[in-house]
């Protein structure tokens, strides 16, 4: 599929079986809630885009994001050491998305953010994605996520007049290393990664929960999981399980947790009975931002999953001690 928006200015909706080369969002027939056409300037400034990558294994976890909201861009990364409990995090803003590059090409587009002595660069190649981070003399990273052969691609309606496209992968093998102030973190055969590339005309105010895990099961299979509730649910979900690189679509997800006691265990299940997991948080990266028209109340927990998942044939896979993330997020954009 060359473009996401058709000749009538409408996005192709549902699960998309083919790669989308270009998100031609300026061709979208964006209208007000009273059905009046919006200007080209409005189409440009209302379009949001972000990319999130995580790498996780038994000992440590890395999360990285670049977010382009046009009025401002945001980037963050954090490294959590499960052995020591140490957390290093860095979060930055750029007014009017200066020194930020996010090409609207899910398969091959480059994403870059720079501020001061910090730079984050994400470069796709054939079935792989390379991540590099340079944060002065404190942190450097050079990691490559491999065998990205069967991602989930979904487009959903958002509110009255919007849509969201997302491309997700989980359970990808990872090579490379991270250096953190003299500590060296290397990826071995147990490490796996996730990719989340999303864009669209999102609801003005959105709240969601999200979960992902990536690792190697006790019997040596690669396992990845992506679950969300609150977004991308208009007729089709972004929920999927990856086993040895193959994507298995899942139904609706339900998150059970206590927002006022976030350190307590979470439970996440799916309506098709194929996921039943318990999550115990170990560390959290959180941020509250309320500036002009934009706001975010963000909590992303690093922790450990236990329980069961099932493939399309009903075969059970034990999830015992795999690392992953849970998120509770409100956004106004």
> What mean pLDDT, rounded, does the chain reach?
94
Phi-psi region of 171 (alpha: psi -120 to 50; beta: other; left: phi over 0): left
Alpha carbon distances (Å) from 49 to 45, 103, 333:
11, 9, 11
pLDDT in tens, 162-200: 999 999 999 999 999 999 999 999 999 999 999 999 999
**Rounded CA separation 54/199 (Å):** 18
3-state secondary structure of 173: strand
Long-range contacts of 7-15 (CB under 8 A, 24+ apart): 11/155, 11/163, 11/165, 12/155, 13/155, 13/156, 13/157, 13/163, 13/235, 13/236, 14/154, 14/155, 14/235, 14/236, 15/152, 15/153, 15/154, 15/236, 15/249
Taking CA 109 as the corner, what is the angle to CA 286 and CA 295, rounded to the nearest 5 degrees?
Answer: 30
Indicate if the pLDDT at residue 1 is higher than 90: no
pLDDT mean over 129-155: 97
CA dist 32 → 159, 292, 309 (Å): 11, 21, 42
Q: Quick check: 286 pLDDT over 90?
A: no
Please compute, for residue 255, the number of CA atoms within 13 A of its CA located in the half-sphere on the CB side: 23
Burial class (CB in 10 A: 0-12, 13-18, 19+), 283: middle
Handedness of CA 123, 119, 140, 79 (dihedral sign): negative
* 305-328 confidence digits (pLDDT tens): 999 999 998 999 999 999 999 999
Q: Are the C-beta atoms of residues 193 and 211 closer than 8 Å to each other?
A: no
- pTM of the full predicted structure? 0.95
pLDDT in tens, 34-50: 999 999 999 999 999 99
């Amino acid at each position: 599929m060359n473009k996401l928006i058709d000749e009538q200015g409408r996005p192709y909706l549902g699960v998309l079986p083919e790669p989308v080369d270009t998100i031609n969002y300026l061709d979208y027939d964006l209208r007000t809630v009273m059905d009046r056409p919006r200007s080209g300037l409005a189409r440009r400034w209302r379009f949001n885009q972000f990319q999130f990558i995580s790498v996780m294994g038994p000992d440590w976890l890395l999360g990285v994001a670049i977010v382009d909201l046009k009025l401002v861009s945001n980037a963050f990364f954090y490294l959590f050491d499960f052995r020591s409990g140490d957390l290093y995090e860095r979060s930055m803003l750029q007014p009017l998305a200066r020194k930020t590059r996010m090409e609207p090409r899910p398969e091959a587009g480059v994403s870059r953010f720079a501020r001061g002595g910090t730079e984050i660069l994400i470069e796709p190649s054939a079935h792989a994605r390379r991540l590099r981070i340079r944060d002065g003399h404190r942190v450097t990273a050079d990691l490559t996520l491999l065998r990205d052969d069967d991602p989930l691609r979904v487009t959903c309606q958002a509110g009255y007049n919007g849509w969201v496209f997302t491309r997700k992968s989980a359970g990808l093998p990872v090579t490379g290393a991270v250096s953190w102030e003299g500590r060296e973190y290397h990826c071995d055969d147990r490490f796996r990664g996730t990719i989340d590339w999303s864009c669209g005309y999102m609801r003005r105010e959105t709240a969601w929960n999200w979960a992902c895990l990536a690792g190697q099961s006790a019997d040596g299979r690669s396992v990845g999981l992506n679950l969300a509730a609150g977004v991308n649910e208009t007729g089709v979900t972004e929920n999927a399980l990856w086993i040895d690189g193959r994507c298995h679509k899942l139904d609706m997800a339900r998150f059970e947790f206590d927002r006022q006691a976030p350190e307590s265990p979470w439970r996440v299940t799916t309506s098709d009975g194929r996921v039943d997991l318990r999550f115990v948080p170990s560390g959290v990266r959180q941020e509250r931002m309320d500036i002009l028209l934009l706001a975010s109340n963000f909590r992303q927990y690093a922790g450990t999953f236990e329980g069961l998942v099932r493939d399309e044939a009903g075969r059970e896979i034990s999830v015992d001690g795999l690392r992953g993330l849970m998120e509770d997020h409100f956004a106004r954009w």
